[in-house]
């Protein structure tokens, strides 16, 4: 039996955190949540989620710093990280992907782009969890 993928949501804004959580839960994923980068790093180390959805703009340890820390740690470097950002400046994409994030989604978070990206990155881990998941929505393209 395949384990239900666990997705860690790291987002300081409660409304956005709930939105992302509701979308992922509607797709049958288990979620854990952190409201800042430090808590996110600790949860990732303890619980080893299959995927992380990471807000970039957070106080104290921001998403890019947290990503660098997780990607430089052999215990967590394999976990795909999808960045959420409100930034829309030229060069942000390069900065975020160059900083170790695997994917990059602009806010506002949209159901289709989030679920397509999540399915894509969970599928890349090769655990076959996509095909065997009845709750998963069919891919409709980005």
Helix (H) or strand (E) run with residue 85 in it: strand 81-85
- Reading the block at residue 104, the tokens are 């990059």
* Minimum CB–partner distance for residue 124 and Mn ion (Å): 26
- Reading the block at residue 25, the tokens are 């839960």
* Minimum CB–partner distance for residue 86 and Mn ion (Å): 7
Q: Which DSSP symbol is given to 49?
A: -
Q: Of 27 and 36, which has the nearer Cβ to Mn ion? A: 36
CA distance 105 to 63: 13
Coil/strand/helix, residue 57 = coil
- Reading the block at residue 95, the tokens are 């900065």
Q: Of 5 and 37, which has the nearer Cβ to Mn ion? A: 37
Q: Of 83 and 122, which has the nearer Cβ to Mn ion? A: 83
* Minimum CB–partner distance for residue 64 and Mn ion (Å): 12
Q: Which residue ranges make up the site for Mn ion (CB under 5 A)?
A: 12, 55, 57-58
* Minimum CB–partner distance for residue 85 and Mn ion (Å): 9
Name the residue with the smallest CB distance to Mn ion: 57
CA distance 38 to 92: 22
Q: Of 58 and 82, which has the nearer Cβ to Mn ion? A: 58
């Amino acid at each position: 039996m395949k384990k239900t993928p666990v997705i860690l949501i790291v987002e300081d804004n409660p409304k956005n955190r709930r939105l992302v959580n509701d979308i992922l839960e509607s797709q049958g994923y288990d979620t854990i949540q952190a409201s800042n980068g430090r808590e996110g790093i600790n949860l990732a180390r303890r619980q080893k989620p299959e995927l992380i959805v990471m807000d970039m703009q957070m106080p104290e340890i921001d998403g890019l710093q947290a990503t660098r820390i997780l990607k430089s740690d052999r215990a967590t470097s394999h976990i795909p990280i999808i960045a959420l950002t409100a930034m829309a400046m030229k060069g942000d994409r390069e900065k975020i992907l160059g900083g170790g994030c695997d994917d990059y989604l602009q806010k506002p978070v949209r159901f289709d782009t989030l679920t397509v990206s999540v399915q894509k990155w969970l599928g890349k881990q090769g655990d076959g969890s996509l095909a065997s998941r009845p709750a998963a929505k069919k891919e409709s393209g980005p």
